[in-house]
Amino acid sequence: MKNYLDKMASQWFLIILLEAVFLLLVCAWFAEAKSAECPSIENKPVKIEAWLSKRYKKELLQLRKEFAAMGNTRVTLWVYPSENSSKIVAIGGCVPACIVRHTLRKAIEYYGGVNALVNQNFFSCNSIGVGTSLFADSSLQQIRLEELTRLMDGSLDTRQFQSLSRQLTIQNKKVRAFGLMLDNPKLMKDH
């Protein structure tokens, strides 16, 4: 009888120990998930950086106000040394859809459109880059007018918008280089 009770006590101890370990793992997972969430734009405003054609040099103050019109943003404008800056946009994974759509409208107005998006793994989650030429071709995807129109759909909430943006910027596994199709040296693995 004593052996039976000792055996039962050890089983209960083991069960309680396993439950405690499980609870600690769940708490650690929730803490990690919480830290992976996007920061509040009230606490960390969205950073917008735009490279504008030199023809807009005298209008930078006004353009800064236009880009910042949605609020909760910090806008930095740079003068691109030539007449036309690129039509490439980088969208951070935590930027609210309304701010991105506003910025895309400005890109269409001042750049004549958007023709490529940068994969989000190459860019800060709380930032937008417009007219950027900092990224290699293997880091971005061309975007067609109908895809841009889908992104501009005001009925998409931020989660849906960001999901679509990630779908549109999936990198090619192979890229053309030196007349060959080679492995993409800039291929980012999803986290």
Q: Quote the pLDDT of residue 60.
A: 94
Residue in 64, 51, 49 with CA at minimum distance from that of residue 111: 51
Is 88:118 a contact under the CB 8 Å cutoff? yes
Over the range 156-170, which residues count as b (16 or more CB within 10 Å of their CB) and which as e?
beeeebbebbbebbe
Q: Could you tell me the residue ranges of all domains in the chain? A: 1-37, 46-176
- pTM score, whole prediction: 0.75
**Token code pair at residue 88:** 């490439």
Q: What is the pLDDT along the chain (191 residues), one digit of tens a residue?
A: 666 656 665 665 445 544 544 433 434 443 333 335 898 888 899 999 999 999 999 999 999 999 999 999 999 999 988 778 899 999 999 999 999 999 999 999 999 999 999 998 888 999 999 998 888 887 889 999 999 999 999 999 999 999 999 999 987 677 777 777 777 777 776 54
Give the separation between CA 165 and CA 162, rounded to whole angstroms.
5
